[in-house]
Every structure is written in C-alpha cells, then in structure tokens.
Structure 1
Amino acid sequence: MKPSVLVIGAAKSGVAVAKLLNRHGYAVIITDMQEIKEKAELQERGIQVYEKGHPDILKREDYAFIVKNPGIKYTVPFVNYFVQHQVKIVTEVEIGYRYASHFHYGAITGTNGKTTITTMLYEMLQRKGNAIVAGNIGFPLSALAYDFEEEEKYVALELSNFQLLGIETFAPEVSVVCNLAPDHLDYMPSVEAYYESKMRIYENCQKEDWFLRNVDDPTVVAYAKNIPCTTIDFSLTRQDVDLYRKDGKVWLHDLMLFEESRFPIVGDYNLSNAMVAACMAYKLGVSLADIQATIASFQPVEHRLEYIGEKDGVKFYNDSKATNTHAVTAALSSFDKNILLLAGGHDKGISFLDLKQYDDRVKCCIAFGETREQFKPIFTHVETVETMQEALHTAIAKAQSGDIILLSPACSSYDQFPNYEVRGTLFKEMVRAYLEKA
C-alpha cells in the first residue's frame, strides 16, 4: 500500500509538490479553500483533489507527512489539528531538496535584502551555466526538482522563515541570514521565534559548507549560535573579519572579489548585498571575472528603492518592497533631507518607533491605509489619507524643487492590494502619467 501524503494549499508550490510526490510513489491528496484550476490534470495522475474547503474526512493521523503552503498559518484550525496530533508538517522546499540530489544551493534569508542578493547571485551563476532561481522568487523548488531531478543545477534560493519552519534535512552549500528586524508578528508567536526560525537555514550543514554571518547586525550575532559549518564573518565597517572592504575594494581573506567603484548602485546596504552575493558565488564556483562582470552591470531590483523619474526638480522613488521598518530605514538613510514619505498599509503588529530617528529628514509623512494613524507619533509633520493614490496626489501638491517623493510603506499591502508588486506598479504608473503631462 502506498504511503499517504496530504498537501494543504494548491498554489503553484502545492501543485508542483503534489506531482513530484505522486511520481515518487506516494498516494497524494491535495486540498485548497479555493477552486483548483489544475484539478483535471491532478486527477488524471491519480491524485485526490478536494477544493473549496478542507473536509473533516481529511483529518487523519496516518499520513506519512503533510506538506503545507508556507503562507498558511499553523494556527488555522485545519492545520492546527495536525499540529496537536503531532503529524509531521514540512514545506515544498524540503521535498524538492530530497529529490533534486544534484542541485547546489546558495540559500538566502533575512528580513531585508533577500531578493537583491538572490537576484545578484542568480545573475552570477548564470554566467557559470546551469543556473536557476527558486523559492520566494522564481519558481517553487519542487517544480524545478520535477523538471530537472537528474540534472546538475546551481540554485539561487530565497527563503522566508515560513519556508524554513518546515525543513528537516535541507542543507545548502552556502547560506546567509543577511540581517534581522521585527517582522511577520501577525504570523509568528513572538519576535524571538521569528529570529530563531531564520537560523534553521544552517542547522543541517556540514563543516565544508559556509554560513555568512553579518557581524554588523547584533541580532544576527546574538541568534547565530552553534553553527555546524564554516562561518564567514562579514562587515562593512571592520577589517578583522573574513569578508570586508578595504581601500575601495571588497576582499575575501586576501582575495580581491571586486572594486567598489565598479558597482553602479548607491547605498552601503546595497554594497553589503553585493559582498554577500559575490562571496556566495565564489563558493559555488563562479569565476572572479564573472563575479566582477555581474557587479559592474547589475541593475536594482524592481520595487526596491527604484528611481522612476524627475519633474520640476522633484524626484520620485518606488520602494514598495519595503514592508517593514528595517527596509524603510535603509531607504531614508539614502537621502539627506526633504523626503515626502508615503507610508502605511496592513497592520502586521510591528512598531514604527525606529523611524523616529529620521524625523529631521522627513519633510512630511503622508500616511495611508490601515496603519495611517500610527505614524502621527513618529514624525513631526504627518498628514493622513485613505489610499496610496490620495497620498501621491497630496505629496505632489506639497512638493517643491529639491524634494524626494518616496513610497516606502513599512507595511504589507494586504489592506488595499493583493501584494507589494501591484502596489508598486500602480504607483509607478501614476507617477509616469504625471511626469508625461505637459
């Protein structure tokens, strides 16, 4: 009799892992609260499909394990039933890892900067060949494992703490927790639990693997303990570490990785991302020439402090991906003054107090959405409106030559938008329409 597996959530990753497990001899059941558009294809493969709800008939304790979509909380009653009955729950990353035995992983997690590092690492790996990007960006790892199971691939893998909560054997050859700040407190029971979940990225690694530790971040240093692999300490400010900057160059021990002047993007936090990506690429066998060529040609990630344009001396930036205060502080530190800050959105339960240190740089905060009233104690000058669209119109009306209009919300988008990409795209469309007006 085939061992039985339940897949909860039929988004791209759920469908992919269901097909992968089905191919490997499991009796797969998949369930989703919504309609499953791949229902016919899955049923043709012999996969049982339950859509538009999770029926009680699925509440059994004899599953070999359960694969849960990382976005579904463990406290949801249907999932919590299995938690209470101690049925093993993993995520699709763990399953993809088990079957794609010829993949080499550079795994990236942290609170901010993950996507930039992952994208940069992927571009470096592409020059080497056989590169794929997976996880939070790109494709579900299980989908790539299904397509390339017997092939050798080099994977730039961005991981959320939700995905790391469900690993068991996953062990990347090189990994990083780029930084830590409070986030996802609407999902995690505490900020400590959030930080601890990030550290699972290296727990199964061996001595020959590398973990890059950001010694400039005291929270990372406090939580990165009992590291079983080789630790590569990095810093923007110190030179008594493994990965550092000196004389306008970035060094790994006594090996020069790249020259700072060749990196076209401003901001120390971007340089830190480049240092990490270069070091990870080097560990995965990318040549110095290919690392340096990628550094010289790299373009900013969309929705991350993305310059849109200028009109009448006013510059516009889209930083919609800044869904917590740590990301917003990075954006605010990039400008000296005269910032018209558009902030607000869905309340994730995090404090905005660490933005107060930039009050002298923020000419006015135009706050919108669910959290708009929470910005009043933070900045001296605050105006509140309902929507991001109103916030932009208000900012344009107030702006003078030399000002910066910056969308950097410090919140997720779910009160008014399906995701930060939709929010950022709408912002860019509105700004470009304004820039093109005579």
Structure 2
Amino acid sequence: MKKIVKYKNKKVLVMGLAKSGKAAARLLRKLGAHVVINDRQPLPENSDAKEMVAEGFEVVVGGHPLELLDQNFDFIVKNPGIPYLKVPLLMEALKRQIPVLTEVQLAYDVSEAPFIGITATNGKTTTTTLIYEMLKEGQLNPLIAGNIGEVASLVAEGASQDQVLVTELSSFQLMGIDSFKPQISLLLNITEAHLDYHSDIEEYRQAKLNLIANQTSDQYCVYNADDEVIVKGITQTAATCVPFSLYREVEGAYLSNGSIYFKGEKIIDVDAILLKGEHNLQDVLGAVAVSKLYGCDTASIQRVLMRFSGVRHRLQYVATIAGVDYYNNSKATNVIATQTALNAFDDSIILLAGGLDRQHDLSGLIPYFPKIKMLISFGQTKERFKQLADEYSLPCVAVDTLEEAMDAAVKVAREKDHVLLSPACASWDQYPNFETRGDHFIDLVEKLKNKNL
C-alpha cells in the first residue's frame, strides 16, 4: 500500500456503511484521518454501526443531520448508493465545495497496482469477468474488484506493483472521483439508465465519461466505435484511444467474416466462442482489446473464450444433455432482458418464463414467437403468458413452479433444442431474488444430467 498524506490529519465523514463504508473508514484511519461515520439506520437494528462503535469510531446514526457539517470536514466519502439530490446534507456539502468521494478513489490513492476500469450501461459484469479470466489465463496477476467481487479499497490495500486491479465501475462510483485514472479504460455502451438517481441523462453520461477524464497519453481508452455518445465523449480524454466495432474494420478489435480480429490479427472464430448473442460479442470485442493492450497472449484469450459460459444467471450456459442445451438467464426480470436473450438464438427455443405479476406489458415478446418451439409459463404470471401464446397459436403449457416447468421442458426437448430460463418477470412470487431462482434451475439441470449419466 502506498504511503500517502492526502488524508493525514484531515477530518473525513464516511456516509453509509455496509462493506464499502466499513472498509473506507478503516482505511482512512490507517491513513491518519479523523473519521466520523454517518448511517441513516438506527443503532438497535444496525449491526454494522455497532461493529464500528466497538472499534472506537465516532458513529452518528438515524439520519443525515445537516449540523454534522459544522464539524468542517475536509472530505466526504459516501456509499455510492446514496443519491446526491435527495440528501440535504450532501447538497449543502456540494454548495460548500467539500469534496465528495467514493471508496474507489481511496482504492486508487493507495494502490501500488495499476487499474483497468470498465463501465457501461449493460454488459460490464460479463466483460469485467472476461478480462479478469483472460489476464489470469495469461499469468498477468489480475485482481478483480469494484462492483464485482471484493470492495476495491480492500483489494487495493494488499495489491503489489506486479498485479493489476480489474474493476467494474458504476456511474454512482465514478461521480465520486478526483484523480482516479486507469491504465486502461473501457467504455462499452452508454444508454439511458438510473434517471431516478441522476438529475438528467447528461449527468449520467458525464458520470460514465469521468472514467476517462484524467487519463494521459501513455494510457489507453478502449471505446465502442458503434456508440455515438461514446464517440462524442472520447474528445474529453488525452488517452490513446483504441476502438472496437461489431460492424466495420477499425484500428482495434472488430468482427469480420465470422471472426474476431485485433489490429489485423485473427483472434478466434465466432463459432468457437461459447457465449451466445450479439450483445455478448460486443463484450468479447471490448475484452479482447483490453487484454491485448495489457499484453495478454492470443492463445490465452482463445482458451477463455472457448470455455467461458457467462456470468452466473446472465445467459449462462449450464449443460448439454442428450443434445439439448440448457441456459440460465434468471437475471432477465423484464421483457427487454428476455428479448436480448431470445436474440442470441436462431430458433428451437423452449422458453421458461414467469414470476411476479407486476402487470408489465408482455407483448414485446410476440416478434420472437417464431423462434420459440414451446413456451412454458410458471408462477403468478403463468396465465397471462398462456393467454398471449394462445392468441398467437404458440404452443404453451402453464404450470405452478419452475420444477414443473423443467419437467415439461424435458418432455418436449429434442436434440439441438435450447431450453432457456429467461423469465421476463421478477422472482419475488416464489424466490427471494433472481439468484436463488437461477440456482434452483441449475440444480434441476444438474439432477437431470446425473440421471442421464
């Protein structure tokens, strides 16, 4: 860990606990700061606050009182999830020009290792994981942190110069940086999102572009040349910009005649890549460009792409049983996410869909019905799916549970079919979260696999 004086003898308010807040407070204390912790949850039910009190921290709970600012803080380090525009204390702090940071900035300040920073509206978890796996395969000592894996500042504390932090970064985190600059940045895509947090779309876009704002000419910015917002945004960086494109040859990574290339070198045929879907090819292109720029050899990249089955619950390949492929896309909790999954296949889909009924419009699935061999609906929305399928003469079976849906799928599935769990609904009618639902599906597939051995 670097020995820095930025926070020494400074008064720092840490807003919000959980893992990142606790890590930030402890690190700031090591750096010589005078730390006050503030969390809105009252003490009786706040185990994190009790833990920090026991460690000797000053902790203020039960809200975010304005009078805290009377302590004349030099910095505020806030949990990324706390919105600026809904907390009067933060709004007043900004008026007083008190720097408001997130713990990602702390991680950068103390890290001896360089950073690779990845941001996007969609696909950043898959791409971050791909880059990490490629660099690991190439024996380049990566660590994974940020929005995925361990808290960034915890990882950074123990990182050495011969390692690299591969970090997934959200707009929430990137609004709270001042000097953070990754050795390689990756801008995958920027579309409309999180407008309940940001004041408008421009603020959201700029938060994403903060990733590249401090980079210098000896650093790289890998960017999506097919995204107009990003192409316009890269004018804000001094970094060496390297594009990738799904649709044309560029001086970076691109798709041509069914193969992935990087600067003219063929990397791999698309057919050899285990990940399905055009949206995942965008992730692959970004990951290939970053990995090659960091010095990863092509053979290592190829090996990862031929075995990487996707991030758990995100169009994750689970198994092939009797010639039938099983995919877990439990994270698809809305129609748009299921549309993306259906786009990944040409035909022969047995779709398992259903869950909590939030009265969402399901008609967005109709254009994809020609690809679907059978729809098997379950949960609260089972009858809504069945009614829609019947209207368009799509074979459909409505059952109560995912287990019954799996049984129904096995009965009709034949070689070269794809059984796809992509519910288009939240899980809360039967499961606490989409992860538990996806894990149940994986267990059911594993049981079927063992039965067929």
TM-score normalized with structure 1 length:
0.80
3-state DSSP of counterpart to 2:26: helix
- Is 2:435 the partner of 1:421? yes
How far does residue 155 in structure 1 lie from its aligned partner after superposition? 1.2
Max radius of gyration: which structure? 2
Residue aligning to 2:121: 111
- Share of identical aligned residues, percent? 33
Alignment of 1:192-231 (within 5 A): 192-221=202-231, 224-231=234-241
Q: Give yes or no for contact 2:216–2:239 (8 Å, CA) kept in 1.
A: yes
Distance in 2, matches of 1:352 and 1:177, equals: 31
Letter in 2 for 1:123: E
Distance in 2, matches of 1:30 and 1:350, equals: 41
Query: Of the candidates 68, 71, 81, which is equivalent to residue 59 of structure 1?
Result: 68
Q: Give yes or no for contact 1:209–1:230 (8 Å, CA) kept in 2.
A: yes
Q: Give yes or no for contact 1:8–1:66 (8 Å, CA) kept in 2.
A: yes
Residue aligning to 2:5: none
Letter in 1 for 2:120: G
Q: 1:373 to 1:288 in 2, by over 3 A?
A: same
Query: Of the candidates 381, 390, 412, which is equivalent to residue 400 of structure 1?
Result: 412
Letter in 1 for 2:238: P
Letter in 1 for 2:9: K
Alignment of 1:367-386 (within 5 A): none
How far does residue 314 in structure 1 lie from its aligned partner after superposition? 7.1
Residue aligning to 1:272: 282
- Is 2:298 the partner of 1:288? yes
Moved more, 153-162 or 312-321: 312-321
Q: 1:213 to 1:414 in 2, by over 3 A?
A: farther
Q: 1:25 to 1:58 in 2, by over 3 A?
A: farther
How far does residue 44 in structure 1 lie from its aligned partner after superposition? 6.1
3-state DSSP of counterpart to 1:59: helix
Moved more, 169-178 or 242-251: 242-251
Q: 1:397 to 1:346 in 2, by over 3 A?
A: closer
Deviation digits for residues 250-286 of structure 1, max 9, x if unmatched? 3322344445455343434333322321221222233
Distance in 2, matches of 1:392 and 1:10, equals: 38
Residue aligning to 1:29: 36
Moved more, 242-251 or 11-20: 242-251
- Is 2:145 the partner of 1:134? yes
Deviation digits for residues 396-433 of structure 1, max 9, x if unmatched? 65873356553334566678766542342234345656
How far does residue 353 in structure 1 lie from its aligned partner after superposition? 8.0
3-state DSSP of counterpart to 2:412: coil
Residue aligning to 1:3: 10
TM-score normalized with structure 2 length:
0.78
How far does residue 141 in structure 1 lie from its aligned partner after superposition? 0.9
Q: 1:39 to 1:200 in 2, by over 3 A?
A: same
Q: 1:312 to 1:248 in 2, by over 3 A?
A: closer
Query: Of the candidates 70, 84, 108, which is equivalent to residue 97 of structure 1?
Result: 108
Query: Of the candidates 130, 133, 139, which is equivalent to residue 123 of structure 1?
Result: 133
Query: Of the candidates 143, 163, 166, which is equivalent to residue 173 of structure 2?
Result: 163
Letter in 2 for 1:290: S
Letter in 1 for 2:412: Q
How far does residue 327 in structure 1 lie from its aligned partner after superposition? 4.3
Alignment RMSD, CA only? 4.2
Distance in 1, matches of 2:378 and 2:234, equals: 36
Q: Give yes or no for contact 2:330–2:437 (8 Å, CA) kept in 1.
A: yes
Residue aligning to 1:244: 254
3-state DSSP of counterpart to 2:63: coil
Letter in 1 for 2:151: P
Structure 1 alignment gaps of length 5 or more: none
Deviation digits for residues 237-262 of structure 1, max 9, x if unmatched? 21144322345543322344445455
Distance in 2, matches of 1:221 and 1:294, equals: 29
- Is 2:365 the partner of 1:358? no
Q: Give yes or no for contact 2:379–2:430 (8 Å, CA) kept in 1.
A: no
Deviation digits for residues 92-125 of structure 1, max 9, x if unmatched? 111111121x221221111222122111211222
Distance in 2, matches of 1:280 and 1:99, equals: 23
Q: 1:279 to 1:63 in 2, by over 3 A?
A: same
Q: Give yes or no for contact 1:132–1:154 (8 Å, CA) kept in 2.
A: yes
